[in-house]
């Protein structure tokens, strides 16, 4: 039997606050993050190490989440991993 995929909440996905502005949340300035001053996540560190190696740049393990995000954006553009996005 196929799983039930119906939305029983009575509202549309556009009304869900977690999905309403998903693109806007992804593009939020890291300076505005409430957790931006915390140490970078393990996923950020791993990806940043890879990007740093590809770009021939030093990896700083002491970056905050916000600083790591900005550095990732910078190195993605430098290595061509930004998908052609304009910054």
pLDDT tens per residue across span 32-71: 888 889 999 999 999 999 999 999 999 999 999 999 999 9
Largest CA distance in the chain: 53
Specify the higher pLDDT residue, 3 or 54.
54
**Residues 6 or more apart in contact with residue 79 via CB below 8 angstroms:** 51, 54, 55
Cβ neighbour number for residue 23 with a 10 Å cutoff: 6
CB contact at 8 A, 48 and 59: yes
- CA 59 remoteness from chain centre: 18
Q: Of 37, 39, 63, which Cα lies nearest the Cα of 52?
A: 63
pTM of the predicted model, to two decimals? 0.64
For residue 35 the two structure tokens come to 């957790």
**Residues 6 or more apart in contact with residue 53 via CB below 8 angstroms:** 59
């Amino acid at each position: 039997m196929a799983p039930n995929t119906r939305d029983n909440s009575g509202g549309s996905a556009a009304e869900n606050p977690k999905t309403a502005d998903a693109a806007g949340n992804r593009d939020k300035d890291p300076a505005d993050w409430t957790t931006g001053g915390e140490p970078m996540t393990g996923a950020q560190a791993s990806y940043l190490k890879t990007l740093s190696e590809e770009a021939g740049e030093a990896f700083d393990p002491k970056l905050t989440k916000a600083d790591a995000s900005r550095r990732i954006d910078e190195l993605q553009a430098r290595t061509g991993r930004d998908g052609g996005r304009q910054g």
